[in-house]
Structure formats: C-alpha cells, structure tokens
Structure 1
Amino acid sequence: MSNQRKSLAQITALTPEGRYDYLVEQVKEHKEIWTLQDNDGCVMLTTEDEDCIPMWPSEEAAALWAVDDWQDCQPLSIPLNEWEERWVSGMEDDELMVAVFPVQDDLGVVVQPWELQQRLQPKTKH
C-alpha cells in the first residue's frame, strides 16, 4: 500500500522509526514541515535530557497533538527552505532537539536538527 493511501490512524500506529521515515518522505515531497504554536511561540517538549520542538509531516498530524494542554495551539507550516536556512541553525544555537512525529503515547525519535536536515537533503549520485 502506498503512503498516499494510508490513513492517519495507520501512519500514527507506525513505529517511531517508521514515522520518522514517513515524515522525511512527506517533507521532501511537499516541501514543508509542521509544528505547533500558540501565542507564546512554538510548542516545546521536554524529555529527561533534552528540550525538543516537535515536528510533523502534515497539518492533520500536527493537529492530532493539539488537545488537552495543547488545545490552544495551531499547526504552523514551515517551508522547507526556511527550515534549512533559519530553523536548523537557530535550534542548534538554542540547543534544541527535534521530536520527530510524536503521537500521544510516544514522543518519537529525538534527533539533532542537523540530523533531520541530512535526511531531507536530496541524495547525490556518485
């Protein structure tokens, strides 16, 4: 089954690594990545060791997180070129990690912004 035909429920049920792969595929295809924001700025999540900004592959996936404590948050589209030019270095300067496609019971894979950026780069032919 192609990823285009998978429902959001099927996608959110993937393993953290599967959701990471799906996010990379979708961001490459649609040239945008999604986070959540409220009046104070972007949503921040904290693991035991890291402060993270969650990122999702679509507005619908980000909106699934906007419940309970996050119900006032709105999905924010970040164009891929803006992610590359401003977000990666800004997050690194602020020592922030990326929580890749978290779902309600699973924070997902947590990576350095440059690691996600490397996965988003077009493959070069040798």
Structure 2
Amino acid sequence: MRYLPAVIVDIVLVLVFAVIGRASHDENPAGFLLTAWPFLIAVLLGHLLAALLPGRPRRPWSVLWGVVVWIVTVAGGMLIRVLSGDTAEVPFIIVATLVLGAFLVGWRGIAALLRRRRGAAPHHDLADSTEQGDPGDSVT
C-alpha cells in the first residue's frame, strides 16, 4: 500500500505529459489517452521492476526509485508505441525523455530536499531525523 501514492502521482504526471504534448501540436487534448497508454503501461512496469530489484531503493518516493521508473517508462513506452504501429521519432524521444525525467524524478528530488530541510530543522530530535532519509533519497 505504501507504493500507491507514488504510483498515482506518476500516472497523473504521465497523463499531464500526454495532454501537454497533444496541445503543443494543436492536436485535440481530449485524445491524450491515445498518446499516454503506452507510457501508462510502462510506468506500472517501472514500479514493478523497482520493487523487484535486488538491493532496490526502499521507498517509492526516493530519487533512485524515480530513476528506475523514468528509464523503464521512456524505454518501455517507446517500445510499446512502435510495436503497436505508432511512431517514435527522434525529437519525440528526446522531448519525452527530458519531460518525463523532470516529472518522474523531479517531484522525488523536491520531496527529498523538503525532507532533508525538514530533518535539519532544530525542533526535530535525532529519532525523527533517522526516519527521514534513505540512501536512495540523496540528490547531492
């Protein structure tokens, strides 16, 4: 159950990616599911892979978990697109890689910075600060 919030955030961000992409090409944004579905499947596979990796990051909101999800989402989404008869032109691959990286890893980086900042606040004791971190949460 601890995975569900991160999965939901990532699904929403993949949908936002598809809506923005369609709108930027003057396509009907209402058809965003046509663009999103391969990446939605891939984002779920990314979470599954991150959960099954030996020595995996322990928390689905960690930056390292996000990197795994990002790579699988881009590579898997492109592969599914091509196998389903759609295209994967180089400019689309570049944009998708950058935007999905910013989305899927970015929110985790911001969360890690906020946790680190909150952990550094003087009103937290040592017991609280040990709960904050995860080796995969590091953004430095």
> Scaled by the length of structure 2, what TM-score is found?
0.24
Q: Which has the higher strand share?
A: 1
